[in-house]
Amino acid sequence: MSEAKWLIGRQPILDREQRVRAYELLFRSAAGPPSAGFDPTHATASVILGALSGLGVESVLGGHRGYVNLDRELLFSDALLLLPPAAVVIELLETLAPDEQLAARCQELKAAGFTLALDDHTYDPAYEPLYPLVDVVKVDLQLADREGLARSVEKLRAWPLALLAEKVETPRQFRECLDLGFDYFQGYHFARPATIERRRLDENGATLLRLMGLLVDDAEVDLIEGAVRQSPGLSYKLLTLVNSVAMASRERIRSLRQAITLLGRRQIRRWVQLALFATDERRGLDDPLLDMAAVRAALMEGLAKLHPGLDRSKEAAEQAFMIGILSLLDRVYSMTMEEVVRTLRLSEEVGAALLRREGALGQLLDAVERMELLDLDVALDGLATTGISRAEALRAQMRAFAWRAGELKPADKG
């Protein structure tokens, strides 16, 4: 099985002084160019998921806005409202019919705070009901000659729009567009799309449908948390998502439960809806590193409940579980642990455990890693100094293996 990755193409959009003002985000496939069966809805959902929960909005856009192409299906999906309005510009594809339904949806999106753009466009009277609603018109230089382009610009200036010249490929085209008064520019003359890549953790449809079912049934937070905790990939994506769509909060993340509460059921439901667009049933969660992360997390939680210094608090157990999940993701995502801690804005206590094996939680992580390496005497002796006996530690390890194998219900992990 080939390694799955997040692949997002990013092409800069510049102002008249050639300073980067935004990026267009583009679908890229590790398998090569789109095939005859290419699904644009799946592609767009993959781009959005990659930006939100695979890579993180900040690392993809660096403080700039991201332009995202949407077809009709995603444009009218409630999952679209998962996107942070301040960070994205919604591009309306040229294939969208300018009908009353589209105009009404644009009004809803504008009311929600989104910026709208028309893609691959030249002036068309049929779009006049939409021109007052959009903020940017991307004019395709290949759709008209210079005279036709000038006429199109003149007509579009009747509305308070920003004009973006796309497919600018030569210095001459850039100068002509400057003379015509374009505000923004995009094309090979400035830069070809660059691909941002990171290993991708796909969840199969069954996992996402189970989580969606819990959200639809308004299940207790315990059940939602349990579904997320079954999957290291979902756990990481959820934590990344919190930082992508809840940037106004400066609260440090201490546990998955806190992340779920901070994000809210509605936002999680939208995220799952979007993930269902992009899920690939051919791939399952069979990566041995992810399996190890799940067992490690369950063992960390079990040991935290036995640790006298942690007062057997529920929050400490939740923190221990999260640390176990995250402790291997530097290898899974080909990123440093410093990046993981910084990107997810983890609390100082959790960061110290992950980065330096400090504190009670760091001591547990060190012992668990030694147990995995079969350095049992050192690991168990170290745990004994905290008040956890050898028998208790080994029993906790067996329960962690059993839980991962599905032999125990989450509630049985005491």
pTM of the entire predicted model? 0.64
Q: Are 156 and 123 in contact (CB under 8 A)?
A: yes
User: What residues does CATH 1.10.3210.10 cover in the chain?
Assistant: 205-412
CATH number of 205-412: 1.10.3210.10
3-state DSSP assignment of residue 185: strand
Report pLDDT digits (tens) over 131-188: 999 999 999 898 878 888 999 999 999 999 999 999 999 999 999 999 999 999 999 8
222-236, 260-274, 300-314, 353-367: which has the highest mean pLDDT?
A: 353-367
The pLDDT assigned to 164 comes to 96
With the CA atoms of 22, 28, 33 and 38 taken in that order, what torsion angle do they form, in degrees rounded to the nearest 10? Answer: -100
Name the average pLDDT for the chain: 80
User: What residues does CATH 3.20.20.450 cover in the chain?
Assistant: 5-198
Helix or strand run (H / E) with residue 12: strand 5-14
Beta carbons within 10 angstroms of residue 108's beta carbon? 12
Model confidence at 306, pLDDT cuts 50, 70, 90, reads: very high
Report pLDDT digits (tens) over 371-414: 988 888 999 999 999 999 999 999 999 888 877 665 454 444 44
* Strand runs labelled E in 84-142: 88-92, 115-121, 136-140
Q: Are 303 and 383 in contact (CB under 8 A)?
A: yes
Q: Please, what CATH class does the domain formed by 5-198 belong to?
A: alpha beta
Report pLDDT digits (tens) over 309-360: 886 667 888 889 889 888 887 776 667 898 888 877 788 999 999 999 999 9
What does the block give as tokens for 204? 């199969």
Share of the chain above pLDDT 90, in %: 34
The pLDDT assigned to 162 comes to 96
The pLDDT assigned to 2 comes to 44
